[in-house]
Structure formats: structure tokens, C-alpha cells
A = this chain, B = another copy of it.
């Protein structure tokens, strides 16, 4: 984990305009800028590990991160994905808990580490920051509850379709307007869906036969989004 003190200025960071820190006034922005640290992760590098103690939160400048719980048999369940301008590791920090999940970069990622003390200083002065945190939490909780009900009620095929749409919403398409702009292994997608890798592969190849998607190594092209949508049975 390379750390590199302050080669970037938060005041110029486009993410800070939209992230949880968007409403900070100039003084506070400078504080944030002074006390943050820049971290660079290569693909596969660990950001933080489950059951360890948080010392701050991470704001993604550029890159992609998976947040996952490791279960009994060492199998990972991905509970969230993060993209540019997303904040990770804040739940455990706010709760004063150990991390319930681990986090790993799924591609080369640059992020800012904001120490706990800095965040607390900022929170003291900014009720708007509390509101932003609450917004993050309510969004995550909503998604989590949807996921619970899907896992309990939907068959794997529907969950795979839904996952493809979630990936689309989270990371968007490449320039061609069809290829998902994220690279995950089959195992990782399976861990997101909550199924066995083989089952996921089978269903992806079904989708391919049915003309819903096209596969080129790890790249997935969505050919018929509306049909994928109806396969996911999102509004029954």
C-alpha cells in the first residue's frame, strides 16, 4: 500500500464536489486537504481486512473496490461495490466497531485516507456532514434489505440478471455503450450474486445463447438490456 502525502489537492478534486464532502466550506476543505493521505492500490491489493480496527475512512479518487464478508468456508460474499467518489469503510468507523467486511481493489485504485480525528473535527462543525453520512447509510441499508429479500426469494437466474443491471448502474458502459465498464472474475460475480462459480458460468452461457449478452473473456456486453431487466423480475 503506497502512501504519498499530498500530491493532490482536495480543492481541485472533482470527486469532492459530489462526494460526502461536497458541502464543506473553504476552511474545512483545507483541513481535509492537509490531513488526508493519498493511497495507491494495485488490482487485488487489500484496503482493509475484516475484524481489524478502522482508523479512518477512504474516499475513492479513481478506481474500483469490492467490500465483502468472508464466511465459514472462506467463501467471500460481496456486499457492496464502490466506484469513483464513493466512500468506503465508514460504517465501522461511525459505529466504533471493527470492520465487518474486508475491502480489496478490483482494479488499480487511487484513494484518499481521511483519519478518524479529521473526520470527527469536520463532523463537529458540519451538521451537513452528518446528513450526508445518514444519506449514505440509508442508501446502503436500502440496498442491503433488497438484497436480503432477493437472496431469500429469487432463483439464481434472476439474481444474475439483476446483478448485471447493478453492474451497469454502478460502473456504466465503455465507449461502445454496451460493454460493462468493469472487470470481475467469474468467481467474483458469483460472490456478488451469492451462488457457486459454476452455476454463474452456466447461466451466463445461457444468457449468451439467448442473445442477452456477449462474452469476450472477462468483458461482458449487454445486448438486450430490457430483456435482461424482465429476466430479473424486478417489479413483480
Contacts and interface: CB of A to CB of B under 8 A. Distances in A.
A80 B55 CA distance: 30
Contacts of A149: 69, 71, 77, 79
Interface in A101-148: 101, 127, 130-131, 133-135, 137-142, 144-148
Interface stretch (A23-31, A92-100, A176-184, A217-225): A92-100
A153 interface: yes
Nearest to A158: B72
A194 B139 CA distance: 23
A202 interface: no
Contacts of A73: 153, 236
A141 B139 contact: no
Chain A contact residues: helix, strand, loop or mixed: helix
A97 B152 CA distance: 23
A91 interface: yes
A146 B142 CA distance: 15
Nearest to A235: B72
A53 interface: no
Contacts of A133: 134
Interface centre among A95, A131, A138, A144 (most CB of B within 10 A): A138
A94 B137 CA distance: 10
A75 interface: yes
A233 interface: yes
A215 interface: no
Given A72-B236, A73-B236, A77-B152, A94 B142 contact: no
Given A71-B152, A141-B144, A144-B145, 17 more contacts: A72-B154, A75-B153, A77-B148, A91-B138, A95-B135, A95-B139, A97-B138, A97-B142, A127-B127, A137-B137, A137-B138, A137-B141, A144-B148, A147-B148, A151-B194, A152-B195, A153-B194
